[in-house]
């Protein structure tokens, strides 16, 4: 199968869909979300009371208050400080709890959705895109919900309450402070627009870089065999360079905006001080009111900066959520058809990958029950594509691929895999226990059935290790032959009537070939087998051989008959024999 770097990316949710996804997250935990909001609002209220009361003390001293009055108000101020501290801590704690729960829900949801995606869509999307969405993007949204989200909400509430308080203290000074806001809002809007664009580009560049890295890593042997190291390295550097450029642009934008913020705070304070001084000397306001208003404006700077600085986090979170919610937009055709029996067949199918040309041209193939059918043909003829259509991974463009009279792609995956199992060269062993690796094939299988399957595929080493043994790179690293035995044990456990083998035994070193042969014979006994073969050795003993050339079946029959016919198969056979 050829791997390309131009992939059909998964969709990205539009702003309305992102809002919906965000509201869904909030709605799933309404109570705690409301609790966070109430605590922060109360904390902001007490925080605003402090400068207002301070102004009272200043005016009170001017009006001849005694020590008892001053002490009383100062005591109230201290009480406000304590309450504000306690409430904001409690709010933060509730915010963290809410954020953690929401992040966990999001993570579980996206993993479940990715696992439910049609296989051809997963392949088209590529590991980089899916990996970025399920890991990096979920982390960004989780951070937003846990850390920056509560900070933005607190800061926003505090800013609102402080402006209201400023108007209550002195409407004219409130107006002066408010007049400085339009330039800030305009600058924030401009910054967000640019940052959004750069951030989206940066995320895309990150996916591309991850994709290139994953493809070069998993295809390392092919890269080495085709001497493509320089090309892959060049592509990797180019993608990393693009990513670095996007990072730099984002940071430059942030630095410029933060510099603007610094000057905004200073100018807002300067204007308020000048206006307060002017109206004080005019006798329009008391010194206490001036002190209270100026203290409020000083306090406004911090939460304003908090909101502004975290706005880009909010935006990054929204962009990440758009990518996560995009996974939901992939249409998964409903698979509710129920096959009547296990008759698997291709009838006049044409198929091509993506928008590419047809690679199968009106091909028909009908494996009979318990038949051992071997499909041979030159490289690129379409053998693996036939296996994919039979296994229900891809849907034909025209013609039909049916099992028990219904389209294979319309059968629920769990139902289909009980009847048809595809074994490829890629035998994935998960970092998990041996039991967990086996039980994937039949979740209700008990230990005795698992051990029996291991014995049947001659995996004595696995029986000795025990079902609780951990497998995977950091535990027990399996050889290719051992991984293959696990894959074949899964077939025995799943016990399907039909098995499709796509180069399942390729890549095995001759020393282990004996073990694998035993395992294979055990896994295939009594089943209908469709084997895609490169080694013609396997074909000689087949019930029937189908020869594929350029997406068409050009010959069919048993080995001896095809050899005697002297056609394409005979040519391949003699070439393989080295005659
Ligand atoms: N994912 C894909 N995207 C685009 N084209 C593909 C893809 N997989 C296969 N093809 C193309 O489809 C055609 C048939 O490929 P297929 O892998 O089915 O052939 P094959 O006979 O199994 O070849 P091989 O023996 O080399 O595996 C080839 O031209 C191949 O380049």
Per-residue pLDDT reduced to its tens digit, 279-319: 999 988 899 899 889 989 998 998 898 888 888 788 888 88
Most confident option among 136-145, 193-202, 351-360, 496-505: 351-360
Band of pLDDT at residue 458, cut at 50, 70 and 90: confident
Backbone angles phi, psi at 392, to 5 degrees: 80, 20
Per-residue pLDDT reduced to its tens digit, 182-241: 999 999 999 988 888 888 788 788 888 888 888 888 778 788 888 888 888 999 999 999
| 252: CB partners within 8 A, 6+ apart | none
Band of pLDDT at residue 484, cut at 50, 70 and 90: confident
Beta bridge partners of 374: 531, 545
DSSP letters for 215-229: HHHHTHHHHHHTT-H
The CA distance from 346 to 390, in Å, is 7
Average pLDDT, integer, range 40-58: 85
Q: What is the mean pLDDT of the chain?
A: 86
Contact criterion met (CB below 8 Å) for 502 and 423: yes
* SS3 of residue 92 by DSSP: helix
pLDDT at residue 572, as a whole number: 87
Q: Which of 515, 526, 448 is nearest to 486 (CA)?
A: 515
Q: What is the interface pTM, i.e. ipTM, of the complex?
A: 0.97
| 427: CB partners within 8 A, 6+ apart | 480, 483, 484, 486, 487
Average pLDDT, integer, range 323-339: 84
Q: Which of 313, 306, 314 is nearest to 159 (CA)?
A: 306
Task: Report the share of the chain in percent with pLDDT over 90.
Answer: 36
pLDDT at residue 507, as a whole number: 56
Q: Is the pLDDT of residue 547 over 90?
A: yes
CATH class assigned to 15-329 = mainly alpha
Q: How far is the centre of ligand 1, averaged over its atoms, from the C-alpha of 382 (Å)?
A: 6
Contact criterion met (CB below 8 Å) for 314 and 144: yes
- Output the residue whose Cα is nearest ligand 1's atom 25: 379
Contact criterion met (CB below 8 Å) for 533 and 375: yes
Per-residue pLDDT reduced to its tens digit, 233-283: 999 999 999 999 998 998 999 899 989 998 999 999 999 999 999 999 998
Q: How far is the centre of ligand 1, averaged over its atoms, from the C-alpha of 550 (Å)?
A: 10
Contact criterion met (CB below 8 Å) for 268 and 289: no
Pick the CATH number of 344-577 from 3.10.20.30, 3.90.550.10, 3.30.300.100, 3.40.50.300: 3.40.50.300
Is it true that 15-329 and 344-577 share their CATH fold? no
Contact criterion met (CB below 8 Å) for 532 and 502: yes
Domain residue spans in the chain? Answer: 15-329, 344-577
Who lines ligand 1 at CB under 6 A? 1-2, 353, 356, 359, 377, 379-385
pLDDT at residue 505, as a whole number: 66
Band of pLDDT at residue 3, cut at 50, 70 and 90: very low
Longest Cα–Cα distance in the chain: 122
Which ligand 1 atom minimizes the distance to the CA of 3? 1
- Output the residue whose Cα is nearest ligand 1's atom 18: 382
- Please return the burial class of 570, using the count of CB atoms within 10 Å of its CB with bins 0-12, 13-18 and 19+: middle
pLDDT at residue 125, as a whole number: 74
Q: How far is the centre of ligand 1, averaged over its atoms, from the C-alpha of 127 (Å)?
A: 19
pLDDT at residue 1, as a whole number: 39
Q: Which of the two residues, 515 and 269, has the higher pLDDT score? A: 269
pLDDT at residue 354, as a whole number: 81
Beta bridge partners of 400: 347
Average pLDDT, integer, range 5-29: 83
Average pLDDT, integer, range 489-510: 81
pLDDT at residue 333, as a whole number: 73
Q: Is the pLDDT of residue 388 over 70?
A: yes
Angle between helices 15-27 and 67-115 (to 10 degrees): 110
Render the burial of 107-146: b for 16+ CB within 10 Å, e for the rest.
bebbeebbeebbebbbbbbbbbbbbbbbeebbebbbbbbb
């Amino acid at each position: 199968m050829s791997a390309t770097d131009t992939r059909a990316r998964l969709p990205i949710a539009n702003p309305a869909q992102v809002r919906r996804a965000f509201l869904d997250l909030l709605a799933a935990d309404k109570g705690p979300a409301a609790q966070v909001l109430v605590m922060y609002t109360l904390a902001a209220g007490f925080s605003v009371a402090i400068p207002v009361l301070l102004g009272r003390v200043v005016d009170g001293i001017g009006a001849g208050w005694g020590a008892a009055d001053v002490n009383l108000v100062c005591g109230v101020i201290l009480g406000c400080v304590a309450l504000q501290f306690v409430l904001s801590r409690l709010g933060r704690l509730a915010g963290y709890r809410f954020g953690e729960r929401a992040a966990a829900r999001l993570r579980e949801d996206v993993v479940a959705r990715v696992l439910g995606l049609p296989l051809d869509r997963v392949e088209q999307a590529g590991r980089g895109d899916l990996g970025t969405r399920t890991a990096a993007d979920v982390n960004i949204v989780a951070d937003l919900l846990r850390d920056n989200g509560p900070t933005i909400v607190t800061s926003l509430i505090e800013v609102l309450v402080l402006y209201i308080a400023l108007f209550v203290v002195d409407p004219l000074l409130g107006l002066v402070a408010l007049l400085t806001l339009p330039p800030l809002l305009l600058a924030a809007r401009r910054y967000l627009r640019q940052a959004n664009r750069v951030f989206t580009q940066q995320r895309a560049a990150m996916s591309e870089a991850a994709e290139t890295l994953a493809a070069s890593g998993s295809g390392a042997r092919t890269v080495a065999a085709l001497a493509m190291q320089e090309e892959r390295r060049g592509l990797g550097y180019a993608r990393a360079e693009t990513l670095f450029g996007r990072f730099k642009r984002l940071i430059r934008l942030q630095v410029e905006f933060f510099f603007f913020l610094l000057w905004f705070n200073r100018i807002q304070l300067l204007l308020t001080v000048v206006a307060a001084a002017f109206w004080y000397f005019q006798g329009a306001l008391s010194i206490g009111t001036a002190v209270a208003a100026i203290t409020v404006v000083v306090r406004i700077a911090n939460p304003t900066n908090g909101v502004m600085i975290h706005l880009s986090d909010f935006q990054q979170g929204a962009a990440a959520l758009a990518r996560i919610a995009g996974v939901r937009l992939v249409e998964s055709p409903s698979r509710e058809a129920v096959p009547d029996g296990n008759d698997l067949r291709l009838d006049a199918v044409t198929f091509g990958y993506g928008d590419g040309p047809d690679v199968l041209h009106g091909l028909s193939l009908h494996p009979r029950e318990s038949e051992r059918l071997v499909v041979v043909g030159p490289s690129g003829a379409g053998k693996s594509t036939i296996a994919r259509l039979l296994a229900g991974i891809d849907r034909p463009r025209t013609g039909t691929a049916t099992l028990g009279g219904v389209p294979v792609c319309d059968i629920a995956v769990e139902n289909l895999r009980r009847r048809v199992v595809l074994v490829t060269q890629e035998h994935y062993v998960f970092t998990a226990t041996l039991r967990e690796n086996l039980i994937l094939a039949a979740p209700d299988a008990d230990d005795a059935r698992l051990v029996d399957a291991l014995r049947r595929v001659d995996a004595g080493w696995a029986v000795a290790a025990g079902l609780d043994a951990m497998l995977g790179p950091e535990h027990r690293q399996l050889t290719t032959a051992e991984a293959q035995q696990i894959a074949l044990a899964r077939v025995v456990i799943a016990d399907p009537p039909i098995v499709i083998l796509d180069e399942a035994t390729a890549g095995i070193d001759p020393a282990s070939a004996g073990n694998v042969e035993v395992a294979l014979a055990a896994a295939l006994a009594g089943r209908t087998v469709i084997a895609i073969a490169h080694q013609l050795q396997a074909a000689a003993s087949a019930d029937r051989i189908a020869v594929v050339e350029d997406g068409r079946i050009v010959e069919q029959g048993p080995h001896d008959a095809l050899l005697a016919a002297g056609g394409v198969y005979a040519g391949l056979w003699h070439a393989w024999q080295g005659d």
